[in-house]
Structure 1
Amino acid sequence: MTTKHSSIKGLLLACLLATGVSSCKLDGIPGDRYTDAAIWKNAGNVDMYMYGMYDQFKTFSFGQFPIGYSNATDAFTDVEKYTSNTTGNGTVNKLAYNPGQVNATSPGISVWDMAYTNIRKVNEFLNGLQLYAKVTDAQKIQYEAEARFIRGYMYFWLARINGSAIIMDKLPTQKNNPRASEDEVWNYAAKDFAFAAEHLPKDWGAAGKGRASQGAAYGMLARTWLYAASIAEYDNKLYNKDALTGVPSSKKTEYYQHAADAAAAVIALADAGVYALDADYGKLFTNNNSKEAIFAVYYQRTSVTHQFDYFFCPPADVDGGGATGVPTAELVNEYEMADGRKFSWSETAMKANPYAGREPRFYATVLYNGAAWKGRTLNTTPDDDKEGYIDFKVVTDPRKTVTGYYLRKMLDESNKDILVAGSVQPWMELRYAEILLIHAEALTKLNRLPDAKISLDKVRARVNLPGTPATTPDAMMAAIEHERKVELAFEGQRYWDLRRWRKAHTVLNNVRFHGHKVTGNGVGFDYTEVDCDKENRYFPTSFYYMPIPQAEIINNTAMTQIQGW
């Protein structure tokens, strides 16, 4: 595709997608005589083009990519169970049970084609910006910073999934291009985010809501360096012998320091009043104006909505929907008591009333038997035909809980007519609590435990939990893993955390996860742990680096497949 044609296509797409814009005009130039110069000479057109590129983030919202279903990567892990056993709604289960079906022809977990489509769009934009745009130098730098933020995000995903990938910093001059090393890919993403952080504004104001800011760029920079540092520490070429995968272990301290520095830059913005932890964890995820949101995708009725409520609400909320994914017992058990004590089924008082006296994030994240929801009391016992427990695999697509629990987090309780209204709660790709956890982890790895504890305890203090008692690096990392598991549940982080820590092949391999079958009535209930998988899950170590699509290997003669695929 030529630069001219793809630029026009991108602009026209942007015209259709831009919120509040009913039509686009290219200075009256007839449609058969469009030129790059004509498109770029109007600063408004440049803005429209940029808005069009932002639309890609909707594809990633609510954890849809790379599987194509919301929260699907969390359903690979110990925090969520998808209820279906059919291809489509149950694809994540099929992949977890039978990883042997993944190959280069059918990668299963891939963002390759989409990433390079968007990278090409960004590079076309940057090319046109330099050659034709009639904007001030300051505007040009700011547009470049936004575009590079988007490109950095694509390279972050490529590094996350494939490790080694092709670096394309401009429009290609040749068809065939080789892979760069994983270390180079992480550094390239970091370079784009660092440029964006230097040149983006701290706040766009109401008119620019949803655009990447300085804080968003520093936040993604911190996340990028944390991932690179984790690979440097934990991989050590133990799981793949490809010459281009992995990060030299000698760089881990440097990269943890970079992560700490970038996170500290966001914390400084918070100290200046730009960001803050939302006082109410439960309402945070339906709040379009939360100061905790660093980078978010926003929606608006009736033009731009999503279907999260339809797929994840308790099934009595909507005909034909609900319960696509449900919380596991492993997640429920992780939530502490309100006073910071660990929950345990072996303690008589806790077992007798397991959902009483838990910390606030439990009630904001999980719906359980007896929970109040939309004016009713949930009954998850098998006696309830609509919302009661059902064994996994009894029905191929049950639309009921197979763990005894339903999702609460990110659902809109005020949405009473989901089919008609759709959903408009924002997707928070990056929020301040994650930055504090990144900061805590990076400082722990730098052996700065008192400073790490400060950031970690801020996250706990928001929900009135006491500070962590951890005093050693190992204990602090265990505390951080716990906090990430409960604080970021259903935000698409758990699977990737286990991968970067190189723990997925132990936590997710040859295992089954569980639920709690509740029986009895209001006088008293019994809670029986049940197998919600019915067969073992597997995570082979080869999955730490997923294959490059075979079509790319065929079409690009300079490309080699990642070793082992």
Structure 2
Amino acid sequence: MNKYIKAIFFAALIGLTACSDDFLTVEATDSQEAGGTATEDDLLSYLGSSYQLLLFDSYADYQYNSVPLMSDLLSDDIYKGGGSAGDQQVLYNMSQYNLNADLTPTGLWSIYYSGLSRCNETIAACENSVDVDEADLLQYSAEAHFLRAYYVHWLWKFWGNIPYFEEELEDPFMAPQYTADEIYAELIEDVDYAIADDKLPMQTTAANDGRASQAAAMMLKARIVMYQQDETKYAEVLADMEEIINSSEFSLVDDFASIWLSDGEFGSGSIFESNQLSEGKDWGAAWSGYGTNLPAFISPSELSGDDLLSDVTDYEGGWGFAPVRAATAAIFEDGDERLAASINQFEDDAYSARFQNTGYFLAKYAAREGYNDDPNNTSLNYDNNTRIFRLSEAYLNAAELIVMDGQSPTSVSAQSCLDAIRTRAGMTSIDATTDNIKLERRREFVGEGMRFWDLVRWGDTDLLTESISDYSSERTWDDTRKYFPISQDEIDKTSGDYLLVQNDGY
């Protein structure tokens, strides 16, 4: 695994203090006061600090905050699982659309506001730089704008109407609350800046794996625009998807299962992923380290048997969260190679069944032998990278924009895009219809946190209301559930013109 990001994290720890309870500020050391001139070493320190937030996705602020997991809990693909409904109560209530101002994922809020603050500092340092090569300076600035958009887009998706700031906050450290549409405009400004003028390479070199690229910025723009349903930008997004597909920089990996192995990290179909390492996270240090907890979180408890759906037998046990629904396993056709790579099924006596057990478990990020060499904090320090953007998403975005949104391609067809995905899965061609494209997205991205956001933007949220007594899932969707409630603690910190207004329905 490439160590570039880790190296600049060490620089970040020298130049900046670690996160604290006041996550809206980043304190500079005496050698680099905020607003002062910045050398290239200073810029790399700030940039490393900005990237570091990618490593806090699974556990930080003493909470479990995996975005793929939390996104899928809102969908119809998995249950919460774990020891009981009360085990990680916020996650269970989230899965039931039953959060409130006193029970909302505050760790996720802290993580991504820390990311916003750090990116602001990096951008400010770029603006005050001295003796830095112009091309390098533009690249650093574009990376920071991309990361800022990436972090804020999660706040926007989860909470909608949020505080936003692009300059260092001063006492009393409050920022104005923007509407979701106003945040959308800021996101587009940042991703367009990152994409324009070739400030970033289309793909990184192996030495820079883990850094942002132009393709990553294009993929982020696609997610933002398509979620907003901004038809005025669909043509731009389709053109971006075609450019990525037709570039010589990426190709679909033939063996789908290999994508999720250690050797598959930063593979030919990878556009952007985190750079996890199996070290550094500690139960008593909520803002440190490089490992991920997700594999332990989603793997069956006390596992001792073999996997029934593949010939891989190197899985390890975990905590039994996120059991996959039987209906999700049933969406795959016979012979689809993605099934065994996405969903594990074990013998009944091979593990200890826990709350909402279905017999199915997520496989892509499952705990495996040899993926963790930390003897003291094993559950927190698996080295599985999170695959954030993959080439297959560009293919399926293009197919959707052509068929479902009426866009005219210049160099691909919806059918060729869908066929490429199905051929790699060992499947035959099917017509590129709306229903088939939607189903193929679900099959392709099981366990990657895509399904819920797709259902919301397609207007298919009727699929989310359910009454399933056997699995303790009684939930009702209405449009106020699109956003989480803002924490009452955060509201109580604000006043006057900066008083946070709670989202509708809470």
What amino acid maps onto 1:187 in structure 2? A
Counterpart selection for 1:547 from 485, 489, 494: 485
Task: Look up the match of 2:19.
Answer: none
Is 1:423 aligned to 2:398, yes or no?
no
Matches within 5 A, 1:155-554: 155-172=152-169, 177-198=175-196, 199-229=199-229, 252-267=230-245, 271-286=246-261, 287-302=264-279, 304-314=290-300, 315-316=302-303, 321-338=318-335, 359-368=336-345, 378-380=346-348, 384=349, 386-387=350-351, 390=353, 398=354, 402-411=357-366, 413-415=368-370, 420=375, 422-448=381-407, 451-470=413-432, 476-504=433-461, 506-512=462-468, 532-554=470-492
CA distance in structure 2 between the aligned counterparts of 1:541 and 1:208, rounded to whole angstroms: 42
Task: Look up the match of 1:95.
Answer: 94
Q: 1:452 to 1:307 in 2, by over 3 A?
A: same
Question: 1:532: how far off?
Answer: 4.7
What amino acid maps onto 1:310 in structure 2? A
SS in 1 for 2:389: strand
SS in 1 for 2:471: coil
Question: 1:119: how far off?
Answer: 1.8
Question: 1:365: how far off?
Answer: 1.5
Question: 1:543: how far off?
Answer: 0.9
Give yes or no for contact 1:74–1:495 (8 Å, CA) kept in 2.
yes
Q: 1:549 to 1:508 in 2, by over 3 A?
A: same
SS in 2 for 1:429: strand
- 1:185-217 C-alpha deviation (Å, 9 max, x unpaired): 222212211111221122332332101011111
Give yes or no for contact 1:167–1:180 (8 Å, CA) kept in 2.
yes
- 1:475-528 C-alpha deviation (Å, 9 max, x unpaired): x22212211211101111112222222333x2121332xxxxxxxxxxxxxxxx
SS in 2 for 1:140: helix
Q: 1:33 to 1:289 in 2, by over 3 A?
A: closer
CA distance in structure 1 between the aligned counterparts of 2:276 and 2:209, rounded to whole angstroms: 11
CA distance in structure 2 between the aligned counterparts of 1:72 and 1:564, rounded to whole angstroms: 20
Question: 1:22: how far off?
Answer: 11
Task: Look up the match of 1:356.
Answer: none
What amino acid maps onto 1:511 in structure 2? S
Q: 1:141 to 1:61 in 2, by over 3 A?
A: farther
CA distance in structure 2 between the aligned counterparts of 1:130 and 1:501, rounded to whole angstroms: 40
- 1:154-189 C-alpha deviation (Å, 9 max, x unpaired): 221132123233442334579665433322322221
Give yes or no for contact 1:256–1:445 (8 Å, CA) kept in 2.
no
Q: 1:203 to 1:332 in 2, by over 3 A?
A: closer
CA distance in structure 2 between the aligned counterparts of 1:149 and 1:19, rounded to whole angstroms: 18
What amino acid maps onto 2:476 in structure 1? Y
- 1:402-447 C-alpha deviation (Å, 9 max, x unpaired): 1122332233655387774752222111111112112221222332
CA distance in structure 2 between the aligned counterparts of 1:22 and 1:433, rounded to whole angstroms: 33
Q: 1:185 to 1:319 in 2, by over 3 A?
A: closer
Question: 1:452: how far off?
Answer: 2.1
Aligned length: 455
Give yes or no for contact 2:296–2:366 (8 Å, CA) kept in 1.
no
Give yes or no for contact 2:8–2:44 (8 Å, CA) kept in 1.
no
CA distance in structure 2 between the aligned counterparts of 1:149 and 1:491, rounded to whole angstroms: 20
CA distance in structure 1 between the aligned counterparts of 2:486 and 2:366, rounded to whole angstroms: 35
Q: 1:172 to 1:258 in 2, by over 3 A?
A: farther
CA distance in structure 2 between the aligned counterparts of 1:465 and 1:415, rounded to whole angstroms: 32
Question: 1:58: how far off?
Answer: 1.6
Counterpart selection for 2:135 from 135, 138, 142: 138
CA distance in structure 2 between the aligned counterparts of 1:25 and 1:190, rounded to whole angstroms: 30
CA distance in structure 1 between the aligned counterparts of 2:455 and 2:107, rounded to whole angstroms: 18
Greater Rg by CA? 1
SS in 1 for 2:79: strand
Task: Look up the match of 2:503.
Answer: 562
TM-score normalised according to structure 1 size: 0.71
SS in 2 for 1:294: strand
Give yes or no for contact 2:296–2:367 (8 Å, CA) kept in 1.
no
Q: 1:329 to 1:33 in 2, by over 3 A?
A: closer
CA distance in structure 2 between the aligned counterparts of 1:284 and 1:322, rounded to whole angstroms: 24
Give yes or no for contact 1:326–1:403 (8 Å, CA) kept in 2.
yes
Q: 1:467 to 1:427 in 2, by over 3 A?
A: same
Bigger shift: residues 280-289 or 541-550: 541-550
CA distance in structure 1 between the aligned counterparts of 2:270 and 2:440, rounded to whole angstroms: 18
CA distance in structure 2 between the aligned counterparts of 1:424 and 1:539, rounded to whole angstroms: 36
SS in 2 for 1:485: helix
Identical pairs, percent = 22
Give yes or no for contact 2:106–2:487 (8 Å, CA) kept in 1.
no
Task: Look up the match of 1:120.
Answer: 117
- 1:224-270 C-alpha deviation (Å, 9 max, x unpaired): 111111xxxxxxxxxxxxxxxxxxxxxx4313323323322322xxx
Question: 1:57: how far off?
Answer: 1.0
- Structure 2: unaligned runs, 5 residues or longer: 17-27, 281-289, 305-314
Question: 1:52: how far off?
Answer: 1.5
Bigger shift: residues 69-78 or 204-213: 69-78
- Structure 1: unaligned runs, 5 residues or longer: 1-13, 230-251, 339-358, 369-377, 391-397, 471-475, 513-530
SS in 2 for 1:402: coil
CA distance in structure 2 between the aligned counterparts of 1:63 and 1:128, rounded to whole angstroms: 26
Question: 1:330: how far off?
Answer: 0.9
Question: 1:279: how far off?
Answer: 0.8
Question: 1:556: how far off?
Answer: 4.2
CA distance in structure 2 between the aligned counterparts of 1:65 and 1:428, rounded to whole angstroms: 23
SS in 2 for 1:73: helix
Give yes or no for contact 2:55–2:292 (8 Å, CA) kept in 1.
no
Question: 1:467: how far off?
Answer: 2.0
Give yes or no for contact 2:90–2:105 (8 Å, CA) kept in 1.
no
Measured on the aligned residues, the alpha-carbon RMSD in Å equals 3.6
CA distance in structure 1 between the aligned counterparts of 2:476 and 2:15, rounded to whole angstroms: 54
Question: 1:113: how far off?
Answer: 4.0
What amino acid maps onto 1:275 in structure 2? F
Q: 1:410 to 1:62 in 2, by over 3 A?
A: farther
What amino acid maps onto 1:257 in structure 2? A
Q: 1:146 to 1:301 in 2, by over 3 A?
A: same
